[in-house]
A and B are shown apart, each in its own frame.
Chain A
Amino acid sequence: MTSVKREKVWQDVIAVADLERGDATPVTFGRRELAIYDTQDGITVSLARCTHGAANLCDGYFDGIHIECPLHQGLFDARTGAAKAAPARIGLKMIEARVENGIVQIFI
């Protein structure tokens, strides 16, 4: 039996107006927990759980560039997902995102 891989498509996630301005907004998309960041360079999206301790990053401190884990204060660049400070070592899984007609969409 061969499995058919589904083509990625752009899907609506949340209205820009509903985002927490200048912060990280938690969104559940299907079974995925997403973090939507209103960064200085635009909207970005990652899986919401910290790659170290699995806390939801949206509860952490966000300065417009870096998101800090609320559990151990590990640090990630919310624009690229790169791990920036211990104990975070593995980068965040980023999901391609765009804004269309006031709606945040992800390519998934």
Chain B
Amino acid sequence: MTVQTPITQALQDGTITRRELKTLMQRSDRPGLTRLIGWILTVAITGTLVWMSMGTWWLLPAMFVHGIVLVHHFSLQHECCHYTAFKTRWLNDFFGNICGLIIFLPNRHFRYEHCDHHTYTQLKGKDPELIELPISVWKYLAYISAFPFWRMKFTEIARHVVGRLSDDEKRFIPKEEYATVFWEARIMVLFYLALLILCIATGWTAPLYYWFIPVFLGEPVMRAIRLTEHVGRPNISDMKENTRTNLVTWPMQFLCWNMNYHAEHHYAASVPFFALPELHEKLKDHVYIEKRGYLGAHIDIISQLIGIKPRSDAPSEPAR
């Protein structure tokens, strides 16, 4: 069987020409490095808020805001795993691993998992990142709490530390990369353990207040954002339907490295983040767009959960 990439499908669609797409696929170091400077400044500002609020009731809200920024390291890591954040390939590997260390997401494993997510987007039993439409509002809230996510991720890392993969992982991780996946998990865990020992031995608490607690406080926001990408869209391979683009405010667009243009990203994952607004202009009448942004996407999802709208995963009526 001939392997078809999403880009092949996009080109067959005829909405965009091969020349246009190849132009948009051009990479550059400058936009990524420029945004990275802004990124580091943002982390420094929210980190300063935490510092200023030490010993006050404002500490928890400050750590929450800082955490929202920290969990968005996922967006940079995601861009790096596509090798589109920077033109220089090793910069993508370097920053992808740093981001993965910050948010406890091993980079190489994520890269392969995410590749299959793009190949089999929204297809049950095939898409390794598929988030099923919850069966109830309670399950929806449980997902947003991030507890199921952390349980799954920590189990995954533990499995890799002991040199094991699940059957699903064996499907999307190439055999040649098993050792890399095991060793990146071991190195990450060794790093966290070394840091923990250092903190206990010296009484150093900064990693707790500026890193760990904020990440755990902020992760529910990331879970809520990840829900808006595909949940509530049909479980079919048609990229025009299975993904949701959300029109969001510029601070959120900055934080997510333009990944709110998610349908455009799935249309052509090789298009770098800085070219997605231009791709959006070309595809905006062709892909599914939620003009009310993340909030609108959640209204759509909840409407399906409480029966105001038909569920996207409901079996279609048999033809009469």
Contact = CB atoms under 8 A, between A and B. Distances in A.
Asked if A and B are interacting partners, one says yes
Given A68-B83, A72-B112, A61 B270 contact: yes
Interface string B1-21: 011010110010000001100
A89 B119 CA distance: 21
A70 B89 contact: no
A52 B87 CA distance: 23
The secondary-structure label for the interface of chain A is loop
A49 B5 CA distance: 12
Given A59-B8, A68-B83, A71-B3, A86 B180 contact: yes
A68 B83 CA distance: 10
B5 A87 contact: no
A55 interface: yes
B89 A71 contact: no
| Range for the number of chain B residues in contact with chain A | 20 to 34
Contacts of A55: 3, 5, 8
B82 interface: yes
A73 B111 contact: yes
A33 B299 CA distance: 47
Contacts of B83: 61, 68, 73
Contacts of A68: 83, 270
B174 A20 contact: no
A68 B19 CA distance: 17
Contacts of A70: 5, 7, 269-270
B5 A20 contact: no
B7 A20 contact: no
Nearest to A75: B89
Interface string A58-89: 01110100001011110100000000011101
A31 to B, nearest CB: 12
A25 to B, nearest CB: 10
Contacts of B72: none
A76 to B, nearest CB: 13
Contacts of B11: 59
Contacts of A89: 176
Interface string A16-54: 000010010000000000000000000000000100111
Given A70-B7, A73-B82, A86-B176, 13 more contacts: A49-B3, A54-B2, A56-B3, A59-B8, A59-B11, A60-B270, A63-B27, A63-B87, A71-B115, A73-B111, A73-B115, A75-B89, A87-B174
Interface of B: 2-3, 5, 7-8, 11, 18-19, 22, 25, 27, 82-83, 87, 89, 111-112, 115, 119, 174, 176-177, 180, 269-270
Interface of A: 20, 23, 49, 52-56, 59-61, 63, 68, 70-73, 75, 85-87, 89
